[in-house]
Amino acid sequence: MSQVTMTVNGKEMSGDAEGRTLLSQFLRETLGLTGTHVGCDTSQCGACVVHVDGVAVKACTMLAMEAEGTSVDTIEGQAAPDGTLNALQQAFQDHHGLQCGFCTPGMIMSAADLLKNNPQPTEAEVRHHLEGNICRCTGYHNIVKAILAASGQDVSSIAAE
């Protein structure tokens, strides 16, 4: 066991980790931040996407020790301290971008990564960017719609399917 320290959602946090402790496991089990979901544990599904030093990564396929000294952002840090949802989260609610909600933390974190680098993506760019995020409920349509809406684009002409 060694101690690992990282800044999580703006706050410095430490905990013990083995070599094999995954970042997803460290966040959930050591720090108690269970918003980061583990869907497949094989880096296919994207439910565990978090940002490490501002870049979206799959927390189930990164060692906690590799995150030593980094700045990690998770779904818990997205809403304002008073619980007000950020624009992306609100858009997911407004446009029904989730059903069971299991994939949603990863969807939000991947979408945030996209909008940071490409503030007005096309529908095709959104779908392409979500290649590594799997949703088994929605058929993606409302997720894409929510992300386009969060980017400030008019989605009224996109029919619900």
Partner 1 sequence: MYNFDFEKPSTIADAVSALSAEDAQALGGGQTLLPTMKQRLASPSKLVSLKGIAEMQGICTGDDGALCIGGATTHADVAAGAGAYPGLAALAGGIGDPAVRARGTIGGSLANNDPSACYPAGALASGATFVTNAREIAADDYFQGMFTTALDEGEILTEVRFPVPEASNYQKFEQPASRFALVGVFVAKYADGVRVAVTGASEEGVFRWTEAEAALSGNFSANAIADMTPGEDGMISDLHGTAAYRAHLVGVLTRRAVTAAG
Residues 90, 95: Cα–Cα separation, whole Å: 9
Interface with partner 1 includes 70 (CB under 8 A)? Answer: no
Supply the minimum distance, in Å, between the C-beta of residue 111 and partner 1: 11
> Which region among 30-38, 77-85, 106-114, 140-148 touches partner 1 (by CB under 8 A)?
106-114
Q: Give the bridge partners for 57, in sequence order.
A: 50
43 binds partner 1 (CB under 8 A): yes
Find all residues with CB under 8 Å of 10, minimum gap 6, and list them: 77
Contact segment (CB under 8 A) with partner 1 among 29-37, 58-66, 85-93, 136-144 equals 58-66
- CA 45 to each of CA 109, 125, 137: distance values in angstroms, whole numbers, following the listed order: 13, 19, 13
In this complex, which beta carbon is closest to partner 1, that of residue 63 or of residue 96?
63
User: Cβ(3)–Cβ(15) under 8 Å?
Assistant: yes
Q: Contact residues for partner 1 (CB under 8 A)?
A: 2, 18-20, 22, 41-44, 46, 49, 55-58, 61-63, 65-66, 68, 110, 113-114, 129, 131-133
